[in-house]
Amino acid sequence: MLDYDKEAERYDESRGGEPRAAAAAHAVLSLVPRQASRLLDVGCGTGIVTRRVAAGRDGLRVSGVDLVPAMAR
């Protein structure tokens, strides 16, 4: 089983880095209704996608939580 505390530092790069995060954020935003003002990302990991989602739409407040403190930095 993956130890996310130990993996946190290199997690994003080992999972596709910024290009994957950009694609994931685009996909998420396509599913969020235009009138939405808040979004909760449960299991946000390092927040790489969460930050891109937040930056991708004005007026959308995005919060992220993760069970592993080292991931949600």
Asked whether residue 7 is assigned to any structural domain, the reply reads no
Asked whether residue 21 is assigned to any structural domain, the reply reads no
Q: pLDDT class for 1, splitting at 50, 70, 90?
A: low
Assess whether pLDDT exceeds 80 at residue 7: no
- pLDDT of 73: 64
Count of domains observed in the chain:
1
Asked whether residue 13 is assigned to any structural domain, the reply reads no
Average pLDDT, the chain: 87
Taking the C-alpha atoms of residue 10 and residue 3, their distance in angstroms, rounded to an integer, is 12
pTM for this entry? 0.81
Give me the residue label for tokens 């739409």.
57
* pLDDT above 90 coverage of the chain, percent: 58
Asked whether residue 65 is assigned to any structural domain, the reply reads yes
Asked whether residue 44 is assigned to any structural domain, the reply reads yes
User: For residue 55, what are the domain limits?
Assistant: 36-73
Q: With beta carbons less than 8 A apart as the criterion, state whether 70 and 12 touch.
A: no
Asked whether residue 40 is assigned to any structural domain, the reply reads yes
Asked whether residue 11 is assigned to any structural domain, the reply reads no
Asked whether residue 31 is assigned to any structural domain, the reply reads no
Q: pLDDT class for 18, splitting at 50, 70, 90?
A: confident
